[in-house]
Structure 1
Amino acid sequence: MSIKVRDVLELEIFKDSELIAGKNGIDKIVKSASLMEVPDIYPYLEENNILLTTLFPIHQNENAQKELIPKLVDKNIAAICIKPGRYVDEISEVMIKQADKFGLPLIKLDDAANLSTMANKILELSLDRHLNTLEFRNTIHEKLMDLFLKGKSLESLVNSLSEMIKNPIILTDTNFEIISISKELQEKDIQFVFPGDDRSIFNEKLSLKIDEQKFNKNDLIIHPIKAGSQCFGYLLTQKEFLDQKNLQVAVEQASLLIASVFFKNNAVLEKEKNFQDAFIRNILQGKIKSQVEAIDKARAFGWELEFPQIMMIIKVFTEDDLEKRNTYENILNNKQIEKAFNKSLSIYQDKIKTIYINDSLVVFINAIFDKRIQKNLLSVGENIIEKIDIKSKIGIGTSKVIKSIDQFPDAYKITEKNLDIAKILEEKSFVMKYDEYEIFSLIDKIDDYQLLNTFLDKKLGDLIRYERQNEMKLIKTLRVLIENNFNLKKSAKAMYLHYNTMRYRVDKLKDYGIDIENGYRLAEVVFAYNIYLWLKANDQLTL
């Protein structure tokens, strides 16, 4: 452990010395000591050095004396000790003012001071502290390693560390959700406070409240629990107890072993997750027929599967695979979905299951009180989108109520396809309910894609081909007209167009067989447009 200027001043050999300036630098780190034997000593000085001198090399050079303190500050030395009397009568006022200005400790030595002996005592103190630190590090490592090899829990490691350093310990995940706390904190109210929206380690205003006592970030040692590039959480303790350097050493040693526990646990969880994902894939593919079997297996994965169920599918629409992967990982690791449902609908984690499948997140929600859940699904989805906070478009689709195990495959397929259609229709992030696109459930029953393409070609083929060549946004105009019940005034407003421009586009649509005043033909056009969306979403459009 490094020593400080204040430690040097407490040495017996410095008892008659006086700190006359630069008191603000008393906590500067000291690594070594040197004597000033030549005027040009600066190239030989290292950082955190204490310089001892009688000023003999520069006692006849007033300018050199005036430049001494600023040059030492540039070299980032810890302090300067001057013995006046033999070569200079007094330490000049200029040097005292400079030392105060720069916060460089200026120590006046007594007449009997032996500079060589003092330098040796400083070096001995530094070496002793270093050896003590190594001994402390080894003790902490050996005790914690013994617990680790015995397979003790994270709680045991946290409590043992707390006892060794006589300091309370908090272990959190990366979102500062508490995983474990030492015994002395068990009955206390512990809260992390994050002013603003940044709930991360980088929030400089982060603070910790233990009952009524508040600790700012600077009052805490916060050490990451890392294995390789993966961060599992943080180990926290208060700086005010024990020696800070020893605290830091202890926390570093503990974090390495705790990271190993996390890594081992993650390996087990990853294997379990693979079995879980395979099980859920089998449900969605209709391979599990027995509802009793499904409920029993789900319980093994900590999932209280009950019926009725509602599914929610979350998709990030971007070509940036890295952004997509990171977004999904953040949602899963931070349990954003579970937190949103718990906050809005008081649905607990074991009533929800979220997995990554087919480039999307699929959420299974127990919907025993399905009317209340359906009513609030849109607002929950909007809250999830708001929390994700990325520039790419996000789509969230909800399924119909699933009353039995055999209804999962169709509900999943339809919700997924509806999402792909909504992606085409919606320009921004969106949340959609299953019944917004019920017509696609009907179109899905038609397995003959050639028949669908033929019908589409007959009704809208000329318009689609014209649009590819001219990009007049006539297909978008048709969509907006459908959405507004063919009300030209509302449609023009929705597209930010002048009414006459909308009239022109409607006349242009007539050129391609779309007459909005013919009810029967118009119904066929609307049906054909929905076929167009369905084929496009399924990559089956042949026009």
Structure 2
Amino acid sequence: MITLSCRATRFSNMPLCSVYIQSHRTRVRPTCIISLLLLLAPMKCPVYHVNGGCGRRTDFAWKDIMLTIRDALELPILERATLVAGFNGQDNVIRRVHVADFPGAKFEWAKGGELLLTTGFGLLDNEAAQRALIPKLASKNLAGLILSIEHYLKHAPQAICEAGNRLDFPIIELPPDVSFVDIIEVVFSHIVSEHYAIRERVDQIHRTLTTLVLEGGTLQDLADVLSDILERSVVIENTAFEVLATAQVGAADGARIRSQTEGRAPPDIAEQLIKYGIYQKLHGMARPVYVPAIPELEMTMDRIVATIIVAHQVMGYMWIIAGERELTSLDELTLEHAATVAALIMFKERAVHQAQMTLRGDFVEQLFNVSDSQDAELAERAQQLDFNLDLSYQVLVVTETDAAPEAAPSLLAHVEQWIAPLHAALAVPRGSHVTLILQSHHLPQGNSIAAQLVDIAHADGTKLLVGIGRAVNNLAGLRRSYNQAIEALEIATALGQREGLRDFDTLGVLHWLRHLGPKVLHENTYLGAIHRLADYDTRYNHNLLLTLETYLDEGSMLTVASMLYVHRNTLSYRLERIQQLLDLDLSDPICRMNVHVALKTYRLRNTKPPSP
């Protein structure tokens, strides 16, 4: 028998027609294949209308063109067919038509959504086969069964009807004079029509999304409109998995709820998706990737995701979440267009942001070199940036511990968000740092503001280190406050501080040490001893310099041993060894003070402290 399967693939561009040879008995003429190919010609699609634009709801008025069992029963070709069981399954979507009539079929070809046509030849006088058939078809997610009666079976067997009702699997009886070929042709024509209708629908959607960009729409506008169009939840995130825009429709699964609460994809979920190769697959292809439900990650709904690429660089990801309905090719095709639109929006926003940062950077340079606060150009730029030229000021320099230099733009966005509720400030990226110029009618309280900023960032999972310059009464002192903040930050970094703040006014002797001339440094015998100890560590792979520094910083043998994870006797041996190598007596307070100062000088002029 020839088994002919016509299908529109789930995420494909064209419907496919496949022919299978499965048995010797058939009611389908081979010549029908030729007539079916003629159906690939374009067909008239249902009409629908799109009204939309930036910042307003988008309404779509169209007839649902996904062919269901209910729809199929209304077709003239099936007007004499009778639904005898599985009445609650009439909304099952038909994606393919398949004819199978031989005993012992295992249905390996099933992809889901098939409407199975049969004369019941394989079920004749076989109660076991009758009982097993519908559970098997339902497990393969077929759409329904059409049984042509009076060839081998007078009616659908009771076991088949009972299973159909139990599993909501439609069972349809068909008069014997209705040709399977005619049914296949009609159903296939609807599948092809669906394909072209989807294409037409996607074109309309693309025009709507393009209009959104031209009208100045944001990523949030895009998420809202896309969610409205597809009636699904949408998430747009950057490459750090932070949520840039989101729109919710219907229920949310656990992963979605967590991302909404945390403002980003939960780290454990993002890590697992990376391990599963989802993002690697995305970067390796130009099309969206289907992500099935992953219950162990609380992702109980299917998803599709696409990359957002700007100037050959991945800038983020756009997700569509299935919700309570199965994802379709419309979702995939729409997502492709939407990801391109998101790239256009990001490109525009990046260009605007770069222009703003250039304006801010130029303005700050003018402030640092100001000679006359009444300068007309300076006043005009100040007005553009909402900066008052007649207040008191203080400079904070902020960096993120261990962050790469290219992370500065992201740090800037976060710092602006964190500082906004605390104090009026102008934020400018400078290298790998963010410079904050606090402005106030009174001298700003930089220490208090910096401490709050560090706490807020820490609660958000980010470690900040802040250098604080002195508050000044006018613009003339702004450059000096900036230099002081930079020095405080650099000294804190050199001494191994990883988080918190460092005020220039608390540097004391550390400021002097940083500015000592080369001749003075060269003549200091204690500094020479520290260099010899550092060389010894390098040569013999020891950590005596760290041991000495921790001892001088902390004083208590028990505390130092605990910090270095060594026994107290081991610590005593190391200190004895250091004194022998350097010919020094650490019990002498003057010697101990000089060694401590020399060691801090070494840190300031050479390197960061090693890890224990």
Same fold (TM over 0.5): yes
Is the counterpart of residue 78 in structure 1 residue 143 in structure 2? yes
Which of 546, 553, 556 pairs up with 1:476? Answer: 546
**2:467 aligned residue:** 398
**1:34 aligned residue:** 98
Contact 2:468 2:502 in 1 (8 A): no
Which of 191, 195, 199 pairs up with 1:130? Answer: 195
Contact 1:8 1:14 in 2 (8 A): no
**1:154 aligned residue:** 217
Going from structure 1 to structure 2, the CA distance change for 1:363 and 1:247 (only over 3 Å counts) comes to: same
Give the AA of the match of 1:136: R
- Distance, in Å, in 1 between the alignment partners of 2:102 and 2:561 is 88
Number of equivalent positions: 493
Going from structure 1 to structure 2, the CA distance change for 1:490 and 1:52 (only over 3 Å counts) comes to: closer
CA distances 1:176-227 after superposition (whole Å, capped 9, x unpaired): 566999xxxxxxxxxx96479642367999xxxxxxxxxx999999987934
CA distances 1:134-187 after superposition (whole Å, capped 9, x unpaired): 333333444554675xx4221798799699969899997765566999xxxxxx
**1:209 aligned residue:** none
Going from structure 1 to structure 2, the CA distance change for 1:408 and 1:507 (only over 3 Å counts) comes to: farther
TM-score calculated relative to the size of structure 2 = 0.63
Give the AA of the match of 1:34: H
Contact 1:79 1:106 in 2 (8 A): yes
**2:429 aligned residue:** 355
1:431, distance to aligned residue in structure 2 (A): 4.3
Please provide the CA RMSD for this pair.
5.2
CA distances 1:280-300 after superposition (whole Å, capped 9, x unpaired): 5x469x656555666653554
- Distance, in Å, in 1 between the alignment partners of 2:168 and 2:351 is 52
**1:185 aligned residue:** none
Which of 411, 419, 424 pairs up with 1:331? Answer: 411
**1:451 aligned residue:** 520
Going from structure 1 to structure 2, the CA distance change for 1:99 and 1:298 (only over 3 Å counts) comes to: farther
1:353, distance to aligned residue in structure 2 (A): 0.8
**1:266 aligned residue:** 350
Give the AA of the match of 1:443: L
Is the counterpart of residue 139 in structure 1 residue 219 in structure 2? no
SS in 2 for 1:105: coil
**1:211 aligned residue:** none
- 1:127-206 alignment runs, 5 A limit: 127-142=192-207, 145=210, 151-154=214-217, 175-176=242-243, 194=258, 198-200=262-264
**1:121 aligned residue:** 186
- 1:418-497 alignment runs, 5 A limit: 418-423=488-493, 425-426=495-496, 429-446=499-516, 448-455=517-524, 456-458=526-528, 460-469=530-539, 473-484=543-554, 486=555, 488=557, 491-492=560-561, 494-495=563-564
**2:116 aligned residue:** 51
- Distance, in Å, in 2 between the alignment partners of 1:2 and 1:202 is 36
- Distance, in Å, in 1 between the alignment partners of 2:595 and 2:227 is 77
Going from structure 1 to structure 2, the CA distance change for 1:59 and 1:339 (only over 3 Å counts) comes to: same
Going from structure 1 to structure 2, the CA distance change for 1:388 and 1:70 (only over 3 Å counts) comes to: same
- Distance, in Å, in 2 between the alignment partners of 1:299 and 1:47 is 64
Bigger fraction of residues in helix: 1
Runs of 5+ in structure 1 lacking a partner? 182-191, 206-215, 319-323
Is the counterpart of residue 375 in structure 1 residue 448 in structure 2? yes
1:87, distance to aligned residue in structure 2 (A): 0.8
- Distance, in Å, in 2 between the alignment partners of 1:130 and 1:482 is 77
SS in 2 for 1:18: strand
Runs of 5+ in structure 2 lacking a partner? 1-64, 249-255, 270-297
1:33, distance to aligned residue in structure 2 (A): 1.9
Contact 2:223 2:234 in 1 (8 A): no
- Distance, in Å, in 2 between the alignment partners of 1:43 and 1:465 is 72
1:396, distance to aligned residue in structure 2 (A): 0.8
Give the AA of the match of 1:362: V
- Distance, in Å, in 2 between the alignment partners of 1:163 and 1:533 is 56
1:482, distance to aligned residue in structure 2 (A): 3.2
**2:67 aligned residue:** 3
- 1:161-310 alignment runs, 5 A limit: 175-176=242-243, 194=258, 198-200=262-264, 226-228=308-310, 230-231=314-315, 256-257=340-341, 259-274=343-358, 276-277=360-361, 280=364, 282=365, 296-297=380-381, 299-300=383-384, 307-310=392-395
SS in 1 for 2:420: helix
Is the counterpart of residue 105 in structure 1 residue 187 in structure 2? no
SS in 2 for 1:534: helix
Give the AA of the match of 2:420: N
Contact 2:467 2:487 in 1 (8 A): no
Contact 1:18 1:109 in 2 (8 A): yes
CA distances 1:405-449 after superposition (whole Å, capped 9, x unpaired): 555555555544554554454385554443453323212333x32
**2:396 aligned residue:** 311
Which of 337, 341, 352 pairs up with 2:419? Answer: 341
Going from structure 1 to structure 2, the CA distance change for 1:302 and 1:73 (only over 3 Å counts) comes to: farther
CA distances 1:86-145 after superposition (whole Å, capped 9, x unpaired): 3124434554566578x5724131547725343333223333433433333333444554
